A and B are shown apart, each in its own frame.
Chain A
Amino acid sequence: MSTRVKILYLDDELSNLVGFKASFRMDYMVFTASTSEEALDHLRKHSDIRIIFCDQRMPEKTGVEFFEEIRTEFPLPIRILLTGYTDIEAVIDAINRGNIFRYVKKPWLDEDIISAIEEASKFYLANSMLSSKNAELQKAYNELDKFATSVSHDIRGPLSGVLGGIHVAQKSDDIHELKEMLGLMEKSVNQLDEFIRSMHDYYSIRRGDLNISVIDFDELVKNLQDIYEIYGKVNKVHFSTTIDQEGSFRCDELSLKLILNNLLSNAFKYQKLDSENKFVDLSISVSRGVATFRVKDNGIGIPPHHIQEVFNLFFRASAQAPGSGFGLYNVKDATMKLNGEIQVESNLDEGTVVEVVIPTK
Chain B
Amino acid sequence: MEATTPTPVTDVSGTAPAADRPPLLEAREVSKYFGAVVAIEGVSLTVRAGEIACLLGDNGAGKSTLIKTLSGVHVPDKGTLAVDGEPVEFSSPRDALDAGVATVYQDLAIMPLMSVTRNFFLGNEPTVGVGPLKRFDMSKAARIAHEEMKRIGIDIRDTDQAVGTLSGGERQTLAIARAEYFGARVLILDEPTSALGVKQSAFVLRHIIAARNRGLGVIFITHNVQHALPIGDTFTILSRGRIGGSFRRGEIDADRLHSEMGGGEELHELSRELAALAQADRRPPAAPAAPAAH
Answer whether A and B are interacting partners: no
- Interface set of B (CB-CB < 8 Å, partner A): none
